[in-house]
Structure 1
Amino acid sequence: MNHDHDAVGLTVGGRDPDLAKLLDRGLDAYNFAATGTTAEDQGELSVRAVDPATGETVGGLTAWTWGGLLGIDMLWVHEDHRRGRWGSRLLRAAEAEARRRGCDRAVVSSFTFQAPDFYRRHGYAETGRTLGIPGGAEDVHFHKSLTTP
């Protein structure tokens, strides 16, 4: 079989929303078939923290759920509010919503200069690291069972 790879054009650039949508659809179809899950098994999840005194957003968490798994993408709290336990509240709220959706485990990663100790304090266990983050940091990967609150 002769494959003419030179006949395929490659383009390199910045963010490509159309390509991202195409890849999402293609990977979803493959992943659903491989795991026996459906589009109904996945969803987006967000939690917003608002200062009741000012009405300002002081932090938030974004995540996804799929096939019994909560995947935390981002958790951030404004520097002025980091001692107010907002991060813990955000995390607990996301875990509670994930449980409501039928999730029994969670994953997250955090650079060593961010919040790995925060996740450890909340019951997350380190499962591995990606080395070579600029500045000598590492990306620490965590897992937690959600079967107990």
Structure 2
Amino acid sequence: MTPDVVVTDAGQPSDRDVILRELVAYNDAVVGPSGARPLAVLLRDPETAETLGGLWGRTTFDWLYVELLVVPEALRGQGLGGAVLAQAETEARARGCAGIWLDTFDFQARGFYETRGFEVFGSIPGHPRGRERFFLRKTF
């Protein structure tokens, strides 16, 4: 059988699940289980319990990957971003991680991360056009 190659912007969650399952099976066979676990550090409204911002990521292969981190503009300047990141680091250490990695754009928070011990280990100039995307890590 020769499969069709299909390009779509309407892939289904079940399509992603198939791809992920195949990739995880291969990775597990080569290096062992990743130990993947989600991690969220949330900023919540104390009255409504509504999530206002925070951090979303996962620990896998002994590292925490931070996919998303945001403090709403109205709450910035109060140390909340640093507190959220510190809580994530504490949990990453408790899970036995060797460090944290993430990416950010030049118009976002590179300096924020660097003042907290992160270092740039790569970048993509021109992503988006006229800007730059940075990859940072912090090892424990």
TM-score, length basis structure 1: 0.85
Counting matched residue pairs gives 139
2:94 and 2:10 mapped to 1: Cα distance?
34
The superposition leaves residues 117-148 of structure 1 with CA deviations (integer Å, 9 ceiling, x where unpaired) of 011011001101012213411110111112xx
Structure 1, unaligned runs of 5 or more: none
Identity of matched residues, %: 35
Structure 2, unaligned runs of 5 or more: none
Superposition misfits of 4+ residues, deviation over 6 angstroms: none
The residue that corresponds to 2:8 in the other structure is 13
Q: Give the AA of the match of 1:10.
A: V
The residue that corresponds to 1:49 in the other structure is 43
* 1:136 aligned residue (127, 130, 136): 130
| Range with greater deviation from structure 2 (127-136 or 63-72) | 127-136
Q: Secondary structure at the match of 1:61?
A: strand
Cα RMSD after superposing both structures: 1.8
Q: Which has the higher helix share?
A: 1
The superposition leaves residues 10-62 of structure 1 with CA deviations (integer Å, 9 ceiling, x where unpaired) of 222124212211111111111112212x25x1111111012436644331111
5 Å-filtered alignment, 1:83-94, equals 83-94=77-88
2:49 and 2:21 mapped to 1: Cα distance?
37
The residue that corresponds to 2:30 in the other structure is 34
2:92 and 2:107 mapped to 1: Cα distance?
27
| Range with greater deviation from structure 2 (43-52 or 104-113) | 43-52
Give the number of the structure whose alpha-carbon radius of gyration is greater. Answer: 1
2:46 and 2:77 mapped to 1: Cα distance?
16
The superposition leaves residues 66-97 of structure 1 with CA deviations (integer Å, 9 ceiling, x where unpaired) of 12111110001111001111111111111111
